Amino acid sequence: MINLDSKDRKILYLLHKNCRLSNSQVGRIVGLSKDGVKYKITKLMQDGFIKGFFLNMGFTTMGYVNHIVYIRLHNIDDKKLAKLISSLKTKNYIIYCATCLGKWDISLQILSRSILTFEKYLNEVIDVLGSQLSDYQTFISFREYKVYSNIIDEYFKDVKLKYVPHYRRTFNKIKLDELDKKILYLLSENARMPLYQIAKKTNKSIDVVQYRKKMLEKNGYMYS
C-alpha cells in the first residue's frame, strides 16, 4: 500500500473538483512550486491513483440530446465483451461506454441532434452487437450532472483548502469555428493538456489558444 502525504491528498482533492486547474494554480493553493505539482501528479499517475483527466462539456445546451442506453447480452465471456466495447468506443457519437453490474452488461451514452439520428446510431450499435444482443432499454437525459460520490467526499473530509469550485449554470451560444472544435476535441482527450501542446497541435500561438479556451469556458461549453 502506498501512503499519500498531505500535499498528495490536497492535489487529488483539487483535481477531483476541477482537473483543468493548472499546475501553477494548484501550487498556489497547496503551497508547492509548479514543478513540485507536476512531479507529484506524474507520480500519482504512475502509482495508479489517477487514470486520466476528463472534460465536462455542456452537450445538451449545445443542441445535443443525450441518450442513455442499457444493453443485456447473452453467450458472452469477458474476452468477447471487451472486444465489443472496444468496437463501440470507435463510434464518435458514443461519449461513454462501460460494463455494468446487475441486470445489464453495458451502459453507453449516445449524442444526437434528433430522434431520427439517434435511431440511425442505435441501429449501428445493434449491428455491432449482432446475435449476442439479448435486450436493451433507452432513456433521455436533459441535463449534465457532475456527481460526487459520498465515498470520495468521506475520503477527503480531512482536507482543508480555501478553494470553492465554480459550476456554470448558464450557456451562451456562440459560433464555433474549426479552431474551437479542435480545442474541445483535444481537451476531451486530456482535460489537462498544456496550452503549448494545444498551440502546437493547432498551429496557433499560445495567446490565441488561451483566449479561445477562456471564451469556451465563459460561455458554458465546458465547466468544472
Q: What is the pLDDT along the chain (224 residues), one digit of tens a residue?
A: 577 888 998 898 888 888 888 899 899 989 999 999 999 999 999 998 888 887 777 676 667 888 999 999 998 888 989 999 999 988 988 988 888 888 899 999 898 988 899 999 999 999 999 999 999 999 987 655 555 555 666 667 777 776 666 555 567 778 889 999 899 888 888 889 999 999 999 999 999 999 999 898 888 788 66
| Neighbour tally for 128: CB within 10 Å | 15
> Cell for 88?
463501440
- The pLDDT value recorded for residue 211 is 94
**Strand residue runs (E) in 172-224:** 222-223
- The pLDDT value recorded for residue 172 is 77
- The pLDDT value recorded for residue 137 is 94
Taking the CA atoms of 31, 163, 61 and 207 in sequence, report the sign of the dihedral they define. Answer: negative
Q: Are 95 and 89 in contact (CB under 8 A)?
A: no
- The pLDDT value recorded for residue 125 is 95
Cα–Cα dist 57/204, whole Å: 23
Instruction: Convert 35-63 into a string of H (helix), E (strand) and C (coil).
Output: HHHHHHHHHHHHCCCCCCCCCEECCHHHC
- The pLDDT value recorded for residue 134 is 94
Cα–Cα dist 55/65, whole Å: 18
- The pLDDT value recorded for residue 145 is 52
- Three-state DSSP at 81 gives helix
Q: Are 180 and 212 in contact (CB under 8 A)?
A: yes
> Cell for 215?
471564451
